[in-house]
Every structure is written in C-alpha cells, then in structure tokens.
Amino acid sequence: MKVIEDSCGWYRVEANGQTIGYVGQHKNVWKHTLPARAKVYQDYWLVSKDKESFLCLLGTLRRFPLRQYAVEALLNS
C-alpha cells in the first residue's frame, strides 16, 4: 500500500498497484473516497470543514489501516 501525491494537492491511495481511493481538498473541504472496509462495493465521502477536523475524523477510524496511510500523508504535507 502506498500514498502518491496526485494533481491539485490530492493523494491517491494504492493497494496492489490499483487505486482504491483519494484523499484531498475540494473547495476548502477535506474529503476522501477510501472504502469503509477492506471488502466494500461502494466508496463514500466523509466531509469536514477543515484539515484538523478531517484528521480527527479519520483518526476515529484508524482500525482500517489504509486510512492511517492517508492520515500520515496529510500530516506530512
């Protein structure tokens, strides 16, 4: 698994060479499209007003390892 900086400040999250979701900012709102579970059929959005709140929101879901990669990428940005 890896996080790759993509265009417009977004981060693309890859697993086994395939993109599984994105984390980034759109119109000053932090969003992600990472799946809720390892096996899931539909991505979804969690929306927050600012980066700190967004990271706190992701932090509550840290039992899913891919989110940790996204959080680390954002913290290091």
Q: Residue 36 gets which letter from DSSP?
A: S
Question: Considering the entire predicted model, what is its pTM?
Answer: 0.47
Measured distance CA(6)–CA(3) in Å, rounded = 9
Measured distance CA(29)–CA(64) in Å, rounded = 22
Which of 11, 8, 7 is CA-nearest to residue 55?
Answer: 11
E strands of 1-77, at which residues? Answer: 2-5, 11-15, 18-26, 29-32
Pairwise pLDDT comparison (77 vs 45), residue with the higher score? 77
Each residue's pLDDT tens digit, 5-58: 777 677 777 777 788 778 777 776 667 776 654 333 233 344 455 666 666 655
